[in-house]
């Protein structure tokens, strides 16, 4: 690893690193906030997955999460949203919703994406192994995210319930098998066989979940992407069908921006803190 930056923040430290990723075959960057408690003991970790066009810096700089994380004694890890660098393919038209900045937290199986776009393995295995080897953290993990990262948080959490205490999401892509963002990403990364998409669809996973993790979702009702892309009603219907104890809150007047995330991130951190403490 190479440290890029370090800042004192609410008694803790906000750090940024680069490292070589074997999963993604490129150099990757991540941010990590270590609360003041990490100076004397190992602390639990919340993994935050960001959305389309974002990097590790959006949440670090805009969410205002460090104050509450410092109070609760929780580290926050913020990975980038896709592989990057020379030789990493991008959408040929340079669109924002596929390619660089849009890894969708899956392991691509289709060329040319399969050589680098393995964000599922990176997020689930490689990055936590690195974090737990190099920083004063425990193996208690929670996961959260926004939009594409909300999709990632729910799908990764439900596919690996033994690895996480709890899941939360802001404005997640709830049914990527049936929305333009999801169909484009899953079709290109995973191929035309839609049966392979289901394990990366939050609504399908909730519908068939054998183990329930605490799941909190916030959705703004002034979100421009609500109807066409996000479809929280599909997640709600799946939970009703399966008996999954989903908490889905619709927030009047809030949009898709980090103003929304900053307004409710404290509640999400306190939600996760309960389960991280009980593990």
Catalytic center residues: 147, 223, 256
CA dist 76 → 131, 197, 224 (Å):
11, 29, 28
Kind of pairing between the strands at 2-9 and 12-21:
antiparallel
Q: Say how far apart CA 63 and CA 67 lie, in whole Å.
A: 10
What's the token pair of residue 24? 């993604």
102: which strand partners? 99
- 247's enclosing H/E stretch is strand 246-251
Compute the C-alpha angle 104/43/279, nearest 5°. 80
What length does the chain have? 279
With 0-12 CB in 10 A as exposed, 13-18 as middle and 19+ as buried, what is 115? middle
168: which strand partners? 144, 216
Q: Say how far apart CA 128 and CA 134 lie, in whole Å.
A: 10
Q: Say how far apart CA 265 and CA 273 lie, in whole Å.
A: 12
What's 191-214 look like in SS3? Answer: CCCHHHCHHHCHHHHHHCCCCCCC
Longest Cα–Cα distance in the chain = 51
């Amino acid at each position: 690893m190479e440290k890029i930056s370090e800042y004192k923040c609410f008694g803790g430290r906000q750090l940024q690193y680069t490292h070589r990723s074997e999963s993604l075959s490129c150099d990757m960057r991540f941010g990590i906030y270590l609360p003041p408690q990490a100076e004397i003991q190992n602390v639990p970790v919340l993994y935050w997955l960001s959305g389309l066009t974002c990097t590790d810096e959006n949440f670090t700089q805009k969410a205002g999460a460090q104050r509450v994380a410092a109070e609760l004694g929780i580290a926050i890890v913020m990975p980038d949203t896709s592989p990057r660098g020379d030789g990493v393919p991008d959408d040929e038209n340079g669109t924002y919703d596929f390619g660089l900045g849009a890894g969708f937290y899956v392991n691509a199986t289709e060329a040319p994406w399969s050589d680098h776009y393995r964000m599922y393995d990176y997020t689930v295995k490689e990055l936590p192994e690195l974090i737990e080897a190099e920083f004063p953290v425990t193996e208690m993990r929670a996961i959260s995210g926004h939009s594409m990262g909300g999709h990632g948080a729910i799908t990764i959490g439900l596919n690996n319930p033994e690895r996480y205490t709890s899941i939360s999401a802001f404005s997640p892509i709830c049914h990527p098998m049936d929305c333009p963002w999801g169909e484009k990403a899953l079709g290109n990364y995973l191929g035309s066989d839609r049966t392979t998409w289901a394990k990366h669809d939050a609504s399908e996973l909730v519908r068939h979940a054998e183990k329930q993790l605490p799941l909190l979702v916030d959705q703004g009702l002034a979100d421009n992407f609500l109807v066409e892309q996000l479809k929280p009603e599909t997640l709600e219907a799946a939970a009703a069908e399966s008996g999954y104890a989903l908490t889905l809150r619709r927030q009047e007047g809030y949009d898709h921006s980090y103003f929304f995330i900053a307004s409710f991130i404290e509640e999400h951190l306190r939600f996760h803190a309960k389960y991280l403490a009980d593990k």
